[in-house]
Amino acid sequence: MTRQREAGLATVVGALGVVFGDIGTSPLYAMRSVLGEGGDLTRDTVYGLTSMVIWSLVLVVTCLYVGLLMRVDNEGEGGLLALFGLLRGTLPSRRVALAATFVAMIGAAMFLGDSAITPAISVLSAAEGLSVASPSLHVIVLPFALVILMGVFLLQHKGSGAIGKLYGPAMIVWFGVLAVTGAASLLRGPGTAAAVSPSYAVLFVVREPVTAFVALASVILTVTGAEALYADLGHFDRKAITRGWLVFVLPALVVAYLGEAAEVLRDPSSAGNPFYAVVPGWARIPVLVIATIATVIASEAVIAGGFTVLHQAGGLGLFPYLRTRHTSSEAAGQIYVPAANWALGLAVLGIVLAFRSSEKLASAYGLAVSLTILTTTALYVTLMVVRDRARLRAAGGVVLGGVMFCFFAAALPKFVSGGWLPTLIGVVLFVVMWTWWSGRSRLARARREEELSAKAFVRDLHQVEPIRLPGTGVFLTDDCDRAPMALRTVLELGHALPERVLVLSWQLADTPTAEAHENRVQVRDFEEPYDGVVSVDVTLGYRERLDVVKVLEAAGRQNDELSHVDPGAAYYFLSASHPQVNRSSPMARWRQRLFLLLDQLSTDRVAQMQLPRDRTVTVGRDLDL
């Protein structure tokens, strides 16, 4: 029992080091932006805005994410694409499925757009403490932030598990700093604790509806990182994240925001940087160091979530496959995507150089966050209605989705002053996803027209009676009902086939792994059998990649004739579809060209399937989009 408690505590500490960095560093910049919307900072205004902040944390993070969303996982994985995977196979019509796919693409694209802003705003806000400690240090704020950010992306290859162990204790120190400085300020103005009551938020909305609505665009900054909690569910279990939030993070954030409000009531000029205003002058440099470490963790949390979203999107066919490295032998959800890491790193550095201050970046933030949460909620409600028929949970999702819609509507005017940036990134990524998904669908249809059905191919074999050559040939295809192009080409060219032909096909399940599926690997003869030609069918999860050697070993355990197949001596034949621009296609010409570029940039299929290059033959054929 003691060991279990120690293991549970270690998991919570690890979760603090990976999951809560983003939302945990919001006090650095969020309250400044919220109070900036209030005009004259009277007692009622400060109480009302602070109450809105606290109850946004309760409603969005505690009720929506911890209470509803995180209770729905796809074999331990979370995030909007994991929800989409659960939903995709149960939708009642093609139109609804298409709408859900578009919503999932929008949400994923906006999450990735948010991922480019979070590291920039969090590290910049911490670095700005230098100018608070000493105005003469203002000139080094930007270089300091750039150096820290470069270090963040250089550390990513270590993996979130290793970083969680390293930074977990540091985050405990950070939340301790938030609690201590907030409590010290609150003790000098204990009346501010009354802002915990939701009545102040309600009264403020009734009394100042326009100001309250406008302020929502900044209040949303306090819940940034909520989606990262859900996306990182594959890194840490739900209990660890829930305990970390309720025991450590939420209490520290509430005390910190109350402390900042109390300081502003004592000295309205401190609204320019309320976080550092509650820190005593002698402690500002030490707190700056701790804040910088915390913002590194904040960046890591969102980057790790971005890796997860890209990996899930690749498995679901919404994004090109990118080379992925698993950084933990114990947690399959902990991954590193080199191409995404460096692309995101360049984007973040460019954003810092363009905006140069966290105050300017705050305007760019809320739109992406609110739209991401809104799309996740929409998928959740649809899942509850269509699949689980959990009407009560669906009703809760609708109510909280209405709250998020208010946040989104309030953030729309921020488009001109900075919201265009994550929107632009999101639009570009959405177009990439939409083009990739559409192009793959068109290629699949063209390939089906080109390939023979398995039954027709075996019938041809009986007529041709090909020469049989010693050895085993493994022909790979993602359609078990068709004879792959490579198999047909080999037969047509030489009228010969290997002595043993294995047509290895795979299908993707809407779950991260397929371990729970019965008969995950099946060996069967074709409908019209032919000597030495068998089909090996395997089911994969969208997080998995095909490992041919393991599949053949599993097939050998099922079928005595295949037990002697040596994967190291077999030859592998891949059918490669070379997309071509089709002038008569309904797909726009520019999108066809974009698909061609994406196809060239995607991971080499030989490497993706871990095939031996010296024993792999790729047979290509041009197909019109």
Same domain, 462 and 380: no
How many angstroms separate the CA atoms of 316 and 79, rounded? 13
Question: Of 436, 466, 490, which residue sits at a domain end?
Answer: 436
Domain membership of residue 505 (yes or no) is yes
Q: Please identify, among 387, 415, 436, the residue that sits at the C-terminal boundary of a domain.
A: 436
CA neighbor of 538 nearest in space, from 480, 596, 592, 492: 480
Q: List all residues 6 or more positions away from 433 whose beta carbon is below 8 Å from its beta carbon.
A: 105, 108, 109, 313, 318, 319
CB 400, CB 63: distance < 8 Å: yes
DSSP H helices, 415-479, are 420-450, 454-464
Question: Could you tell me if 41 and 79 lie in one domain?
Answer: yes
Average pLDDT per run of 10 along the chain, which is 625 residues long? Answer: 55 76 86 82 90 94 91 80 80 78 88 83 78 73 84 72 66 91 90 91 91 89 84 76 89 94 89 86 86 81 79 81 66 69 86 80 78 90 80 85 89 81 87 89 80 75 78 80 80 79 77 63 70 78 75 76 76 81 83 86 73 80 76
Quick one: which of 259, 218, 25, 267 has its CA closest to 127? 25
User: What is the value of pTM for the model shown?
Assistant: 0.82
Picking from 213, 215, 227, 214, the residue whose alpha carbon sits closest to that of residue 368 is 227
The set of residues, in sequence order, having a beta carbon less than 8 Å from that of 504 and lying 6+ positions away, is 474, 475, 476, 477, 536, 538, 548, 551, 552
CATH number at 326 reads: 1.20.1740.10
Tell me, yes or no, whether 167 and 257 share the same domain.
Answer: yes
Could you tell me if 456 and 338 lie in one domain?
no
Residue at 213 is within a domain: yes
Distance CA 543, CA 239 (A): 22
Is residue 547 situated within a structural domain? Answer: yes
The answer to whether the beta carbons of residues 165 and 18 sit under 8 Å apart is no
Predicted local confidence at residue 161, as pLDDT = 52
* Alpha-carbon 278 to chain mean position: 35
The secondary structure of 600-617, three-state, reads HHCCCHHHHCCCCHHHEE
pLDDT for 510: 66
Of 378, 369, 368, 366, the residue nearest 402 (C-alpha): 378
Query: Is the domain of 122 the same as that of 215?
Result: yes
**What are the phi and psi torsion angles at 534 (to 5°)?**
-130, 160
State the sign of the Cα–Cα–Cα–Cα dihedral 151, 154, 157, 158: negative
- Residues 483 and 428 grouped into a single domain: no
On whether both 463 and 321 belong to a single domain, the answer is: no
- Please say which residue of 410, 436, 462 terminates a domain: 436
**567 and 484 part of one domain:** yes
Q: Which tokens hold the place of 619? A: 């047979």
In a domain, 443, yes or no: no
Amino acid at 58: V
Is residue 164 assigned to a domain? yes
Between helix 454-464 and helix 485-494 the angle, nearest 10°, is 10
Q: Do 389 and 515 have their domain in common?
A: no
| CB contact at 8 A, 622 and 492 | no
pLDDT of residue 7: 47
Task: Determine, yes or no, domain membership for 41.
Answer: yes
Listed residue (223, 256, 229) closest to 241, CA to CA: 229
Helix axes 358-383, 94-127, angle to 10 degrees: 150
Say what angle helices 284-315 and 80-88 make with each other, to 10 degrees.
Answer: 20
- List the Cα angle 484/611/437 in 5-degree steps: 55
Residue with tokens 């983003």: 22
Residue 441, domain member (yes or no): no
Indicate if 455 and 338 belong to the same structural domain. no
Chain centroid to CA 480? 31
CB 509 within 8 Å of CB 602: no
Q: Are residues 454 and 313 in the same domain?
A: no
Alpha carbon 225 to its chain's center? 12
Q: How far is CA 186 from the centre of its chain?
A: 37
Number of domains the chain contains? 2
Distance from C-alpha of 618 to C-alpha of 577, rounded to nearest angstrom = 10
| Calpha distance 221→244 (Å, rounded) | 20
In a domain, 33, yes or no: yes
Q: By residue range, what is the domain housing residue 373? A: 2-436
Q: What is the pLDDT at residue 490?
A: 80
Q: Residues 6 or more apart from 600 whose CB is under 8 A from it?
A: none
Residues with Cβ within 8 Å of 604's Cβ and at least 6 positions away in sequence, in order, are none
Same domain, 232 and 317: yes
Residue 179 has a CB neighbour count (10 Å cut-off) of: 18
pLDDT given at position 159: 59
